Structure 1
């Protein structure tokens, strides 16, 4: 972010960081003809609220909205009706899970088959290892073979990125994993970017299965202020919802 200032002496401010959505649900207009209006109005809301996101499922065509909680999404659905005169039907909220791994794993994978009338070959040795929570995922290349061109390396990274969008446990995105390309096998004339993209995706899935995959639930930290006579009821309610109380102060 930049302030209004002399272009030769810019004043930069630290960017704002926002939490990622933790719950999603499907939404659709009550009248089919309002589908475009729904997308336009959701876009306006995302411009105003950085903790709100929406996407159109490529397979089902459903519009899925995501936010910080059930109340957040309910308020947004009410806004569509109140501010934009757009009635909507909503589906059951679903928690946004993520997947990761808990230990290192190394795998050697080869792709060698005919595809669209041509032979394609690629072989790689890769290692996946867990990263600190919240650090994100990254790709590291340790192959120096001149036959392993930049195009092939980029294809490996692309294959890993696509594979990480659907984990091996329940199909949720995989986060906080470092993938290292340790070795590669190239055959002139038959190795191709497509083959390296496919073999990288295969290797990533196989390695994650060996690396003790974990399902991650979103955790939010909050402070509750409540009259003393209701403390017991609130604590009981938090326990039934899986909450963990860290501190109680008078």
Structure 2
């Protein structure tokens, strides 16, 4: 990925990881369009950043994605990169019959959203020089959080989809995966204050350093996520499955979440 001069779409760019990375990308010389549902949050994210722009997007709606893609290309024809960051995480109990609305919403946002948006932009991207598609998955793609099973499964699916994209687009579009550990954001209630989670600024700074590598790594992995990414290869899957679930449970109980 070029170290500056890109025109980048960042979904879920109004807060958290999306906003933090978007602001750093703009500061290094990229033009960044942040997209999301809440216009107020987007405007707050771009305030004071000349290279940032805001566009509303309902990532759950297929028709909205198609309309958005057409507007995006018309307004920013130099677009050469997309970062699929939008996502939701819902806690679900699997031990009794339940309403599946949370599971279905998670799949629509975390899995179908990136697939649909990539499809809407792919013909444009393959025609651009230095094009890149970046997916944001999770350490939970590799070792699941039992309390968030559909979220973990959706991230595992996007990891697999990213591998396929990388091979299908080899030599035409660079495909990169960012797999965060638990980061202090508002993804779930109380998460922004959990001491055991990685501070957002530290995460964003480490990601930016890795993205600046030459060549850019296919998987952008901060040090704190490596135990999850490598759990199976290191023969430690069962141990780390229990470890992260015990840790997450204790953190939620300690913070009343």
Greater RCO between the two (CA within 8 Å, min separation 6)?
1
Which structure shows the higher strand fraction?
A: 1
